[in-house]
Amino acid sequence: MKIGRREFLKGSLAMSAAAAMIAPRSVFSQTAESKVEILINEPIAKIHKDVYGHFVEHLGGVVYDGIWVGEKSKIPNYNGVRKALVDNLKKLNPGVIRYPGGCFADQYDWRDGIGAREKRPTRVNFWADTRYKTTKNYEDLPDGPQKYESNHFGTDEFVSFCKMVGADPYLAANLRSRDVRVFMEWLEYCNAPANLTTWSAERAKNGFKDPHKVSFWGVGNESWGCGGDFTPEEYATEFRKFTAWLPTYGVPLKLIGSGPNGGDVNWTRKFFEGLALKGGRQINKLYGWGLHYYSGSTGQQVANEYTENEWYDLLERSNRMESLVEDHWQVMGEFDRERRVKLAVDEWGAWHKQDADVPAGYLYAYAGTLRDALISGMHLDIFQRHADKVVMANPAQLINTIHSLFHAYEDKFILTPNYHVFEMYMPHMNATAVRTEFISQKVNFTRLDAQRKEIPANLWGLNGSASINGKTVTLTAVNPDAKNPRETEININGAKIVSAAARVLTSNDIHARNSFENPRGLEPKDEGVKIPVGGKLVYKFAPASVTRLTLNIA
């Protein structure tokens, strides 16, 4: 039976209103308590592969020794790059990888990172002297490439790494401490045809005769903060200057502007106004508008210590990403009527304190928990619900810092729960996102306000996204309820489900994680799903879970 969307929503809203007012859980368990309606006839947009992008910065243990172990290392490597990382990342079919920062980018001179490694200069790494006082002070950090940047990993090593894993490079230009010329020379080094210019000859001398063909370029990073402390008006002027008459060398350039810090819509509005001062064509230069948002404690609280209320609190704060996407998109539309510029959420994730099992210099390195996995699922679902707006997203960062997919120290290497979510969500890549309605009872919890007084708060009880690829519908969903499953009726509007399968990441322990001692403590499991003959699909989403349902339709 086809259910009209309005009819479905009317029924569902009545149901959730009733649920909110009176119904105890047992009343709902007589029939399915939640409902998901997948509207396959309402496509949103193709889910861009780069929504499954990544981010690598010279920060703590990300590059040294997360990625780069060196060619002579005992740790298995491909030309100096950690083999286990390449082998596992490749499986995820990654989109773009952003590099070299982050804040590091605006203190970096790309010319330091090319040529014979033993001749490259050593610098103090931006992050070794961080103003984030939640980390150790500079003088307390052990010596090593995390503190004294050896530049052994630079443009050529990065592009080679991208090639090894099948990703596209996305380079961020230094707008704070180097001028336009240095940016243009980097472009020339990467993209100019073999041996036609001094910089392309230099590239060939370094072993890379063919151009790297880098399309994605970030014009600064967090230019409102570490990237220059600009006002949005000033940044608009800098952006125009940096992007005026860039040589393309036949490589289509996709420029990404340094967007807002979370909800700062003023930054977005004033920047676009600043571009428009020189006429509408300025906006055409932009491929993407960056957006950065971190939940978590910016390094103050350990990743795996939280109460049930804190579990919900962080999930709810991560959910803020949805309104950020919507709010900035709305402002962008005031200037970009044709909607040519899309959002590039090129830093997202939950930020905690580093684990004790890595050295002090491995800033914000931790293995993450089930809570982080749910945050990954929530974010990917949000981006997919807004596939018409978001063309790129990059969790911060790939390995050994913040919301990472991998955790490594010397010969130890593990996959974090975030990795598993990325693997589970892969069928969405390049599929068409479709409108999907989720109806469920909210979860209630308390959080502490600024005065540490408990205040009531809530979060949806089930949410996710769906996409279609041929006869396969992929539904991914997060159940944030720490204790209760969600029995859910699932309908595909206009199609019959003939078979289904589930892949579930969950645990009885909301603090579950992987560690060097127990590397496979938390992994997804496959489950069969029975479709009753002529009946409705009712699926019970496990408590504290991320689930992928593969639904094959007639």
Minimal distance, residue 363 CB to ligand AHR, in Å: 9
Binding region for ligand AHR (CB under 6 A) out of 25-33, 98-106, 321-329, 443-451: 98-106
**Which 3-state string (H, E, C) describes 385-438?**
HCCCCEEEEEECCCECCCCCCEEEECCEEEECHHHHHHHHCHHHCCCEEEEEEE
* Residues 256-315 contacting ligand AHR, CB under 6 A: none
Q: Which of 128, 167, 387, 402 lies at the binding interface for ligand AHR (CB under 6 A)?
A: 402
Amino acid at 96: V
Quote the tokens at residue 58: 């010279």
Alpha helices (H) in 485-532, listed in sequence order = none
Binders of ligand AHR among residues 99 to 128 (CB under 6 A) are 101-103
523 is catalytic: no
57 binds ligand AHR (CB under 6 A): yes
Which lies closer to ligand AHR via its Cβ, residue 100 or residue 524?
100
Could you say whether residue 53 binds ligand AHR (CB under 6 A)? no
* Secondary structure (3-state) at 296: strand
Residue (125 or 491) nearer to ligand AHR, CB: 125
Task: Tell me how far CA of residue 85 lies from CA of 66, 170, 410, 512, in angstroms.
Answer: 8, 19, 12, 22
CB of 522 to ligand AHR, least distance (A): 24
Using the minimum distance from each CB to ligand AHR, give the nearer residue, 318 or 479.
318
Question: Closest residue (Cβ) to ligand AHR?
Answer: 102
Q: Tell me, what amino acid is at 279?
A: G
Token match 């006082």: residue?
A: 133
Contact between residue 231 and residue 267 where contact means Cβ atoms under 8 Å apart:
no
Provide the token pair at 49: 């592969």
User: Min. distance of Cβ 536 from ligand AHR in angstroms?
Assistant: 44
We find the least distance from the C-beta atom of residue 225 to ligand AHR, in angstroms, to be 7
Q: CA-CA distance, 532 to 526, in Å (whole number)?
A: 19
- 211 three-class SS: coil
Nearest to 183 by CA among 244, 267, 268, 251: 244
Q: Is 221 in the site for ligand AHR (CB under 6 A)?
A: yes
State which residue, 103 or 497, has the beta carbon closest to ligand AHR: 103
Give the binding range for ligand AHR (CB under 6 A) out of 26-34, 312-320, 396-404, 411-419: 396-404
**Count, residues near ligand AHR per rule CB under 6 A:** 10
| Contact string 133-152 vs ligand AHR (x = CB under 6 A) | --------------------
Q: Give the number of other CB atoms < 10 A from CB of residue 292.
A: 23
Q: Give the span between the Cα atoms of 293 and 336, in whole angstroms.
A: 23
Which single residue is written with the structure tokens 């368990």? Answer: 29
Residue position matching structure tokens 């900035």: 328
Sign (positive/negative) of CA torsion 102, 232, 340, 5? positive
Residue with smaller CB distance to ligand AHR, 108 or 413: 108
As measured in angstroms, the least distance from the Cβ of 187 to ligand AHR is: 22
- Based on C-alpha coordinates, what's the Rg of the chain? 24
* Shortest distance (Å) from residue 57 CB to ligand AHR: 5
Residue tagged active-site, from 185, 188, 222, 487: 222
Compute φ and ψ for 10, nearest 5 degrees. Answer: -60, -50
Per the CB < 8 A criterion, the answer to whether 474 and 490 are in contact is: no
Say whether residue 396 binds ligand AHR (CB under 6 A): yes
Active site residue 347: yes
For residues 175 to 214, the per-residue mask of contacts with ligand AHR, x marking binding by CB under 6 A and - elsewhere, is ----------------------------------------
Question: Which among 185, 347, 437, 487 is annotated as catalytic?
Answer: 347
- Show the site string, 479-518: x = touches ligand AHR by CB under 6 A, - = not: ----------------------------------------
Q: Measure the CA–CA gap between 135 and 132, rounded to whole angstroms.
A: 6
Please identify, using beta-carbon distances, which residue of 101 and 232 lies nearer to ligand AHR: 101
C-beta closer to ligand AHR: residue 153 or 438: 153
Least distance CB 102 / ligand AHR (angstroms): 3
Cβ count within 10 A of residue 327 = 17
Least Cβ distance, residue 175 to ligand AHR (angstroms): 13
- For the CB of residue 402, give the shortest distance to ligand AHR in the complex, in Å: 6
Residue from 222, 336, 481, 487 binding ligand AHR (CB under 6 A): 222
At 87, the amino acid letter reads: D
Is 483 exposed, middle or buried (CB count within 10 Å of its CB: 0-12, 13-18, 19+)?
exposed
Does 404 sit near ligand AHR (CB under 6 A)? no
Report the residue number, 170 or 541, with the smaller CB distance to ligand AHR. 170
Q: Report the residue number, 57 or 316, with the smaller CB distance to ligand AHR.
A: 57
Residue 142 backbone dihedrals phi, psi, to 5 degrees: -65, 150
Q: What is the DSSP letter of 13?
A: H
Residues 337-366 binding ligand AHR (CB under 6 A) are 347
**Do 410 and 375 meet the contact criterion of CB atoms below 8 Å apart?**
no
Site residues for ligand AHR per CB under 6 A = 57, 101-103, 221-222, 347, 396-397, 402
Which positions are annotated as active-site residues? 222, 347
